[in-house]
Amino acid sequence: MAVDTGARKVLDQYYPSTLESVDLAEGEILKAAEAAGFDEDDQHKIGMSVRECMVNAVVHGNQYNRNKRVRVTVSTTAGKFMIGITDQGEGFEVQEVPDPLHDNNLLRHSGRGLFLMGAFMDEVRVRRAEPTGAEVTLVKNIGPPA
């Protein structure tokens, strides 16, 4: 018997591994965020987190491979707006990502994306996707912070 978790899926879309997909996914999710009632500031934070995550998926995960896609889902539950972004790359371990705030990394050209997601969202979860890839879940609480 299926258990009703109260989750409502509002987007489930596959995108090609291109930079255009970054803009498209950001646009779609911003529409969903506005519909969920987020103010302009939160929409900006959500949009930016999605952009960083999509760039990681397209550039680092799928490496622009035209045979690989990025799956983007959005669902809402009571009090949570949840975004899933899954690539078909090799996946990665969060603990292996260098800290961009460390003095040795401060002036590096790249490596701030995951950190910014953490700064702008209430939760960021990363796990290896099956059979391959990285699945990132970005969560923003709806309404006042708990």
Binding site for another protein (CB under 8 A): 19, 22, 44, 48, 51-52, 55, 59, 100-101, 106-110, 112-113, 115-116, 119
Q: How far is the CB of 104 from another protein (least distance, A)?
A: 12
Cα separations (Å) of 133 from 8, 48, 73, 107, 116?
25, 22, 15, 29, 21
Considering the complex, state which of residue 26 and residue 135 has its C-beta at the smaller distance from another protein: 26
Q: How far is the CB of 143 from another protein (least distance, A)?
A: 22
Considering the complex, state which of residue 51 and residue 68 has its C-beta at the smaller distance from another protein: 51
Q: Which two tokens stand for residue 70?
A: 């990025």
Q: Across 8-133, where does the E strand assignment appear?
A: 8-16, 69-77, 80-86, 123-128
Q: Are the C-beta atoms of 31 and 67 separated by less than 8 Å?
A: no
Q: How far is the CB of 39 from another protein (least distance, A)?
A: 14
